[in-house]
């Protein structure tokens, strides 16, 4: 399996499955559960049964990127038996999807049996937008009003899962949606997991640049498939609004799953009473 950054040929995709495993990610579970629920609804609306393994936890990326490979190995090894059926694994986060697809095998490489399990899981792991586009063949009528949005994709998700390509193509299939490109698309928003804690001043400067670029598009909202970036960007924009005494948000954002569900006439989980 070749890393996308090497220029390898395009990934081959399976036919639409009857069922998938859903890997919710710890950030979605703890902070933006509605994004996970909306992603599950989208899949179910396509006639796909969604299996949610109860014992799933974190993908291990925070530990690995913080310099604790042993702890990351424990996290990964504890989850390798959660996906026994031969179904695709769908992840509503490009960075977590990239961790599973490209790094799980590496962190357990000292154990041949665990490495084989991780490799098998990696081969059938897909980021949500990628899965909807290339496996499901998502192409449903847009039921929403005309709007202009701008897309943010996390820097690691762009490199490892090509989320900027899949996300842009999905939005292009919505007839009433115009995508406005910003001039900092490939740049990090400054979150970077623990990076924002270790280097707060640098992180703040980076997210300030990102917010300014997103606002400059004039788009009515930002759409992203990575909740960590979404929270960092929208919370910083809200902090700016508070300092400026603004009466309404200057930059709103939501997960791609929530945006798609609303465009299809569905009611997002966060708006249900």
Mark which of 105, 134, 163 sits at the end of a domain.
134
pLDDT number for residue 234: 95
**How much is the pLDDT for 54?**
94
| Domain co-membership, 150 together with 122 | no
Structure confidence at residue 156 (pLDDT): 85
Same domain, 114 and 171: no
Give residue 122's domain range: 18-134
Structure tokens of 129? Answer: 């937008």
Cβ neighbours around 168 below 10 Å, total: 16
Angle between helix 227-244 and helix 200-216 axes, rounded to 10 deg: 80
DSSP string, 160-200: HH-HHHHHHHHHHTSTTEEEPP-TTTTS--S-TTTHHHH-H
Q: Are residues 159 and 247 in the same domain?
A: yes
Structural domain ending residue among the three candidates 66, 101, 134: 134
Question: Is residue 112 in some structural domain?
Answer: yes
Q: What was the pLDDT predicted at 92?
A: 96
Whether 183 maps to a domain, the answer reads yes
Q: Is residue 191 part of a domain?
A: yes
The CATH number given to whatever domain includes residue 29 is 3.40.50
CB 129 within 8 A of CB 118: no
Residue 38 domain flag: yes
Query: Do 253 and 234 meet the contact criterion of CB atoms below 8 Å apart?
Result: yes
Give CA separation, 150 vs 53, 70, 157, 191, 195, in Å.
33, 39, 17, 19, 25
The per-residue pLDDT for 197 is: 80
Residue 194's pLDDT is what?
A: 76
From 98, 114, 134, the end of a domain falls on 134
Please indicate, yes or no, if residue 13 is contained in any of the structural domains. Answer: no
CATH number at residue 159: 3.40.50.11810
Radius of gyration (C-alpha) of the chain in whole angstroms: 18
Tell me, rounded to whole angstroms, the distance of Cα 25 from its chain centroid: 9
Quote the pLDDT of residue 17.
Answer: 98
Same-domain pairing of 107 and 216: no
Count how many domains the chain has: 2
Q: Is residue 249 part of a domain?
A: yes
Instruction: Read off the pLDDT of residues 159-215 as tens digits, 9 standing for 90 and up.
Output: 899 899 999 999 999 999 999 999 888 899 988 777 888 888 999 999 999 999 999
Determine, yes or no, domain membership for 5: no
Q: What tens-digit pLDDT sequence spans the chain (273 residues)?
A: 555 543 334 789 999 999 999 999 999 999 999 999 999 999 999 999 999 999 999 999 999 988 999 999 999 999 999 999 999 999 999 999 999 999 999 999 999 999 999 999 999 999 999 999 999 999 999 999 999 999 999 888 888 998 999 999 999 999 999 999 998 888 999 887 778 888 889 999 999 999 999 999 999 899 999 999 999 999 999 999 999 999 899 999 999 999 999 999 999 999 986
Q: Are residues 148 and 121 in the same domain?
A: no
């Amino acid at each position: 399996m070749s890393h996308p950054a090497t220029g390898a040929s395009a990934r081959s995709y399976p036919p639409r499955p009857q069922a998938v495993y859903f890997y919710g990610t710890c950030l979605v579970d703890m902070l933006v559960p509605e994004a996970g629920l909306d992603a599950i609804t989208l899949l179910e609306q396509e006639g796909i049964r969604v299996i949610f393994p109860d014992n799933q936890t974190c993908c291990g990326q925070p530990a690995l990127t913080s310099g604790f490979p042993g702890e990351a190995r424990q996290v990964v090894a504890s989850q390798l038996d959660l996906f026994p059926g031969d179904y695709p694994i769908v992840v509503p986060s490009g960075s977590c999807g990239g961790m599973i697809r490209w790094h799980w095998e590496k962190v357990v490489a000292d154990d041949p049996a665990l490495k084989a399990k991780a490799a098998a899981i990696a081969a059938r792991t897909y980021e949500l937008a990628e899965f909807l586009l290339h496996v499901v063949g998502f192409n449903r009528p847009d039921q929403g009003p005309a709007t202009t949005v701008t897309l943010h994709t996390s820097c690691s998700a762009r490199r490892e899962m090509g989320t900027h390509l899949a996300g842009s193509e999905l939005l292009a299939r919505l007839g009433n949606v115009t995508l406005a490109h910003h001039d900092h698309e490939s740049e990090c928003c400054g979150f970077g997991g623990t990076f924002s804690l270790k280097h707060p001043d640098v992180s703040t400067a980076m997210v300030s640049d990102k917010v300014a670029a997103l606002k400059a598009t004039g788009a009515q909202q930002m759409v992203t498939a990575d909740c960590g970036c979404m929270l960092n960007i929208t919370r910083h924009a809200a902090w700016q609004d508070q300092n400026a005494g603004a009466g309404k948000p200057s930059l709103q954002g939501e997960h791609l799953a929530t945006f798609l569900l609303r465009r299809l006439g569905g009611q997002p989980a966060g708006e249900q009473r």
